[in-house]
Structure 1
Amino acid sequence: MTEAPQSNSTFPRPSVFILTGIPGLAGTQVWLTLIFGPMYLLTLLGNGTLLAVVRIDTTLHQPMLLLLATLAATDMGLATSIAPGLLAVLWLGPQPIPYAACLAQMFFVHALTAMESGVLLAMACDRAVAVGRPLHYPILVTKARVGYAALALALKAMAIVVPFPLLVRRFEHFRAKNIDHAYCEHMAVVELVVGNTRANNLYGLALSLAVSGIDILGIAGSYGLIAHTVLRLPTREARAKAFGTCSSHICVILAFYVPGLFSYLTHRFGRHTVPKPVHILLSNIYLLLPPSLNPLIYGARTKQIRERLLETFTLRKKKL
């Protein structure tokens, strides 16, 4: 669909949009706070604890754990960009959001999503080097290079997402100011504009395919190299140990990409078969589920972090 429907009630660009939440669930939206509220709290506590542990303990300043800290910071930013507004809409009903704030939220949601995908790719490459070239790993993967990689990923995410708010800002007339969503998602706002939206649609599709597609191919290639290396190891114990170093990352990848791809496919190809409330609900789960699960997955399966947390709790218990 390249043309937004024309309407006799079109009006100039509004100063405020109204986020209506999940359409069709007005009477039951408040109960969803019992799901999304704990997810956001778990995101803050889990990722905040992980960041604190890595920052305080200098022995954890290793490339893999620094990438994990980058992922935790990205998770906190992504969840915080939508969760407060989402919970307000679910609990209190439709909420106003200034036009500029809507564009800013659009930028941060999409930029942090692209950042998270890039960090997962960097972590896959890190594991590929650790398993495939263990003797050269300390030379090839250093803290400085991890820092440069994180900076490059952040700059790339910002650069490719900047066109989203700019493409929306060029429209001067809208047919409504109520956004049938819980946050300012790009296409949800585009549905309200009056004018030719072909550029928005094409750029959104190209960006989704390019970012997710390239990152998924990179991750698949990295794990192809890992599998090739692991299968050549002489003993079953050695293969299990090598695979164990990647198991946490595989779980995180699945938690991020599976809901994301399902949400994307239902939006692009199932708009007439999948109810709109289901699609919007999935898009919120997609942005909040991985940030809430990631610290649990890594906290439980990363030996250094697990030991550091146990040591901290043990010392506090002894003091009490």
Structure 2
Amino acid sequence: MAVFNLTPSDPSIFILMGIPGLEAAQVWISIPYTMFYIIGLLENLMLLFFVSKEQTLHKPMYLLLCMLGLTEIATSTSFVPKALCIFWFNLKTITVRGCLTQLFFLPMFTVMHSTILMTMAFDRYVAICNPLRYATILTNARVALLGLLGLIKTILFVLPLPLLLTRLPFCANRIIPHTHCEPVAVAKISCEDITVNSIYGLVILFLVTGLDLTLIALSYGLIIKAVLRISSNEAHQKALNTCTAHICVMLMYYAPGLFVNLTHCFRQGITPHVQILFSDLHLLIAPMLNPIIYGVKTRAS
């Protein structure tokens, strides 16, 4: 389908190219995109349904899992429908307002995802290192408050991203080589210097995500120290089973996430289509695998 009569120079729109260099294969690429998105959506909706219906699951750990599930649904839904429109119907245009909306919400959901993982690490720390006080330290109300504070923190840090982009003038070439409005990709088509944008992107990466990751590492360091002191083999195994799912999910999220963000800022020898595919799959695979990992380990523990 044609992009109608709109041209890349139209000041009211941007053009999303999808995956440059793989245009001929985009219909085939859309198959795993669609499968991962639908599977992840159904799994997380089922998680939310079962936790809401089962009274015995109305506990802080499962409340955090529901927050994570909502965040993962929102993350993939923020970009997959538009990406599929590009792959299937060649609908590459996106309004400037729509682009700014997308590049606010998608980073917001990914940063919120990191905040929830950090809170989950704290939850496991209290459960294993201070089990007798767990019920008084982490109540459902306190977990909900932590989630609200995390959301406020996320909005405050992410809001400058679209605001910094609105100050930039864009050249006649308004073509974005990506499947969605990614902040660095949008900034690079500007006619002005984007040093401030790049620096702020690194601030979010190292100050916000880096701090979350540091606190997670500290929590699990203390957990491992406490587990090694447990004399009972059964209790030792139960503690390890409880933490294994969280560690797997965090490694699966942070390792590719840091790689994607760093390659956006310091792209060296990485072809654009590989970078875009890696970026998209990082946002698609985690929502599909996380409910499975947590489901299996919850049963095992």
TM-score range relative to shorter protein: over 0.9
| Alpha-carbon distance, 1:153 to partner | 0.8
| Alpha-carbon distance, 1:94 to partner | 4.9
1:294 correspondence with 2:290? yes
> Which piece of structure 1 moves more, 115-124 or 55-64?
55-64
1:66 corresponds to which residue? 63
1:278 corresponds to which residue? 274
1:262 correspondence with 2:262? no
Work out the CA distance in 1 between the residues paired with 2:165 and 2:225.
Answer: 46
| Alpha-carbon distance, 1:55 to partner | 1.0
Whichever residue aligns with residue 291 of structure 1, its letter is P
Work out the CA distance in 1 between the residues paired with 2:233 and 2:297.
Answer: 20
Residue correspondences, number: 294
Q: 1:21, 1:94 within 8 Å by CA — same for their partners in 2?
A: no
Q: Secondary structure at the match of 2:24?
A: coil
Work out the CA distance in 1 between the residues paired with 2:170 and 2:51.
Answer: 49
Moved runs in structure 1, 4+ residues, more than 3 A? Answer: none
Q: TM-score of the superposition, structure 1-length normalised?
A: 0.88
1:240 correspondence with 2:250? no
> Which piece of structure 1 moves more, 295-304 or 141-150?
295-304
Given candidates 7, 11, 14, the residue that maps to 1:14 is 11
| Alpha-carbon distance, 1:250 to partner | 1.1
| Alpha-carbon distance, 1:235 to partner | 2.7
Structure 2 unaligned spans of 5+ = 1-7
Work out the CA distance in 2 between the residues paired with 1:174 and 1:47.
Answer: 41
Note the alpha carbon deviations across 1:147-198, whole angstroms, 9 max, x for none: 0001111111111000010001112332411110000000100011111212
Work out the CA distance in 1 between the residues paired with 2:241 and 2:170.
Answer: 55
The 1:296/1:265 distance shift into structure 2, 3 A limit, reads same
Q: TM-score of the superposition, structure 2-length normalised?
A: 0.94
Whichever residue aligns with residue 62 of structure 1, its letter is K
The residue correspondences of 1:156-167 to structure 2 (distance < 5 A) are 156-167=153-164
1:78 correspondence with 2:75? yes
Work out the CA distance in 1 between the residues paired with 2:264 and 2:98.
Answer: 24
Q: 2:184, 2:265 within 8 Å by CA — same for their partners in 1?
A: no
The residue correspondences of 1:117-156 to structure 2 (distance < 5 A) are 117-156=114-153
The residue correspondences of 1:1-80 to structure 2 (distance < 5 A) are 14-80=11-77
1:188 corresponds to which residue? 185
Q: Secondary structure at the match of 1:257?
A: helix
Work out the CA distance in 2 between the residues paired with 1:128 and 1:194.
Answer: 49
Q: Secondary structure at the match of 1:183?
A: coil
1:107 correspondence with 2:104? yes
Work out the CA distance in 2 between the residues paired with 1:16 and 1:187.
Answer: 17
Whichever residue aligns with residue 113 of structure 1, its letter is T
1:179 correspondence with 2:183? no
Q: 1:72, 1:291 within 8 Å by CA — same for their partners in 2?
A: yes
Q: 1:175, 1:193 within 8 Å by CA — same for their partners in 2?
A: no
Whichever residue aligns with residue 257 of structure 1, its letter is Y
Work out the CA distance in 1 between the residues paired with 2:120 and 2:96.
Answer: 36
Q: Secondary structure at the match of 1:174?
A: coil
| Alpha-carbon distance, 1:121 to partner | 0.2
Work out the CA distance in 2 between the residues paired with 1:220 and 1:173.
Answer: 41
Work out the CA distance in 2 between the residues paired with 1:39 and 1:127.
Answer: 29
Q: 1:16, 1:99 within 8 Å by CA — same for their partners in 2?
A: yes
Whichever residue aligns with residue 140 of structure 2, its letter is K
Structure 1 unaligned spans of 5+ = 1-9, 307-320
Identity of aligned residues (%): 42
